[in-house]
């Protein structure tokens, strides 16, 4: 099979997305010095519609549709995504060609006036548009006011700096990648704020028919990260996970054992079911499905049925 001599990467045009595409480009060029790599920046529907929550306009899939069309139209060869933006079910013509090494998966608290969430006075406004974060926040801090926060990372930080919020919650990974780690006041533990499925990992999406790309991308595939996020995605898929559903999952590998925790909650956090499971890394997806069943057996189905969104 002939190796491609030129690769076009489709990406969103936000600063973080461009960083991610440039990172993958640099990795490919380092591996294959003769390979020509170009980046195709695109504005997605999810980037254009900022005045409504994702759950009301179609979910995170709105961040990938245009990129997938570029793959189908042969305008691009690969698409680079934050893995947490990829729907749990990809259309049958697409596949994940590689999963990059995961960055810090934790949520981060950012504030100009307070060093930790615990320091916020009652009634303080905290910005997040994630039902997952909102449910866990409200369970721990019922006196805080949670307000929607949309836009790319820089936009969200500007809104904080304009004092629209006393604090905001963002993924630590994006801040670290854009050299904004200094803005983080507190890393939230993965026990108190179970991350989004796939948070911190990059996914390279390709057309299934592009089998010529699989050997090319193989060196970029980080096996441990892949095992972890596949377990998380399996749990979420079994629970019908989307940005409409307050759920999270986080897996780590310790001594060749995959340890997975997950939760399902009501948006206000008053109803919440959490559980854990561990087993062989080779059984990653089975472990995710098994954890979903454990949560359902404990009443997660009732929580899911109550979510009228």
What pLDDT, in 10s, does the model give residues 14-70?
999 999 999 999 999 999 999 999 999 987 664 445 454 444 444 455 668 889 999
Beta-strand relationship, 257-265 and 247-254: antiparallel
Task: Verify that 18 and 90 share a domain, yes or no.
Answer: yes
**Active site positions, annotated:** 85
| 30 and 142 fall within a common domain | no
229: in domain: no
pLDDT value at residue 116: 97
User: Residue 1: inside a domain, yes or no?
Assistant: no
* CA distance from start to end of the chain: 48
Residue 257, CB-side half-sphere exposure with 13 Å CA sphere: 7
In this structure, the answer to whether residues 95 and 240 fall within a common structural domain is no
What pLDDT score was predicted for residue 266?
A: 93
- Number of domains comprising the chain: 3
Residues 11 and 96 in one domain: yes
Which residues of the chain are modeled with pLDDT < 70?
Answer: 1, 44-63, 241-243, 308-309
What is the tens place of the pLDDT at every residue in 100-132? 999 999 999 999 999 999 999 999 999 998 999
25: three-class secondary structure by DSSP:
helix
Alpha helices, DSSP H, located in 162-256 = 172-177, 213-217, 223-238
212 with 266, same domain: the answer is no
Name 6's Cβ contacts closer than 8 Å, sequence gap at least 6: 35, 36, 37, 38
Asked whether residue 292 falls in the same domain as residue 240, the answer is yes
Residues 179 and 248 in one domain: no
Q: Where are the beta strands (DSSP E) in 24-121?
A: 36-42, 78-82, 94-99, 107-110
Q: ∠ CA(62), CA(99), CA(204), 5° rounding?
A: 45
Same domain, 214 and 74: yes
The reply to whether 25 and 172 lie within a common domain is: no
- Report d(CA 185, CA 227) in Å as an integer: 30
Whole-structure pTM over 0.85, yes or no? Answer: yes
Kindly state whether residues 15 and 95 are assigned to the same domain: yes
Domain assignment present for residue 212? The answer is yes
Q: For residue 298, what are the domain limits?
A: 234-304
- Output Rg (C-alpha) for the chain, integer angstroms: 19
CATH, residue 39 = 3.40.190.10
Q: Supply the pLDDT for residue 242.
A: 63
């Amino acid at each position: 099979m002939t190796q491609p001599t030129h690769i076009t990467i489709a990406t969103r045009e936000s600063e973080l997305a461009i960083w991610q595409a440039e990172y993958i480009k640099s990795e490919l060029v380092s591996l294959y010095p003769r390979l020509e790599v170009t980046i195709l920046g695109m504005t997605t529907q999810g980037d254009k519609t900022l005045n409504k929550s994702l759950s009301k306009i179609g979910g995170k899939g709105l961040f990938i549709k245009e990129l997938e069309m570029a793959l189908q139209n042969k305008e691009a060869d690969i698409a680079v995504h934050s893995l947490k933006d990829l729907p749990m079910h990809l259309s049958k013509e697409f596949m994940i060609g590689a999963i990059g090494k995961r960055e810090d998966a934790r949520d981060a608290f950012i504030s100009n006036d307070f060093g930790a969430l615990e320091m916020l006075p009652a009634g303080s406004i905290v910005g997040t548009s994630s039902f997952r974060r909102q449910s866990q926040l409200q369970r721990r801090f019922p006196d805080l006011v949670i307000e929607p926060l949309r836009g790319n990372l820089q936009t969200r930080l500007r809104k904080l700096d304009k004092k629209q919020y006393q604090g905001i919650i963002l993924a630590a990974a994006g801040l670290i990648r854009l050299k904004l780690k200094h803005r983080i006041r507190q890393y939230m533990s993965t026990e108190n704020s179970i991350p989004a499925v796939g948070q911190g990992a990059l996914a390279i999406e390709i057309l299934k028919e592009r089998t010529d790309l699989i050997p090319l991308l193989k060196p970029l595939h980080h096996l441990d990260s892949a095992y972890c996020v596949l377990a998380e995605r399996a749990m979420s898929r079994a629970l019908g996970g989307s940005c409409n559903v307050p759920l999270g999952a986080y897996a780590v590998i310790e001594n060749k054992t995959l340890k997975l925790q997950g939760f399902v909650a009501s948006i206000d956090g008053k109803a919440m079911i959490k559980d854990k499971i561990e087993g062989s890394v080779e059984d990653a997806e089975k472990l995710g499905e098994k954890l979903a069943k454990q949560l359902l057996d404990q009443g997660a189905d009732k929580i899911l049925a109550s979510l009228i969104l």
